Amino acid sequence: MATFFALVGLALAGLFCSLLLKQSGLTLLALLLQLALSALIIWRLLPLLAEVLQVFRRVADSSGLSQLYLGVLLKIIAVSYVAEFAASLCKDAGENALAAKLELAAKVVVLLLAVPIVVNILDSVVSILP
């Protein structure tokens, strides 16, 4: 919890500095500051994400859940977070069209990642039907 509040403080301080840079006409420097702060925040979150991954693996092992399902779920989560992060950076840079295309690409990738699970479900349904 303390990490979260530290990151919020860092983000707000960075926002303040970025706004000052933009008002001074240094928009490129403001964008670089935003990118650096974003990377720092992600870097600080990696240990927390590793803990979440370990919990998912323990739950999957204890419940007998197929590693296929866990792998697909984690990939979908990763694609979603990375796409949202990258699209937000594009929007901050004023590239809304690029952000929209990136979001569309992420949706297609998520759909492709889900295909094995959908196929397994359909196979199960077909095997139940007479």
Q: Using one digit for the tens of pLDDT, what is the confidence trace for 14-31?
A: 888 888 988 988 988 888
Q: What confidence score (pLDDT) does residue 85 get?
A: 86
The span from the CA of 105 to the CA of 83, in Å, is: 8
Q: Where are the domains of the chain?
A: 1-63, 66-130
pTM: predicted TM-score of the whole model, two decimal places: 0.69
The mean pLDDT value for 77-82 works out to: 90
DSSP string, 72-94: HHHHHHHHHHHHHHHHHHHHHTT
Neighbour tally for 109: CB within 10 Å: 16
The span from the CA of 82 to the CA of 68, in Å, is: 21
The mean pLDDT value for 2-18 works out to: 87
Q: How does pLDDT run across 52-75, given as a tens digit for each residue? A: 888 888 887 888 777 778 888 889
pLDDT above 90 for 104: yes
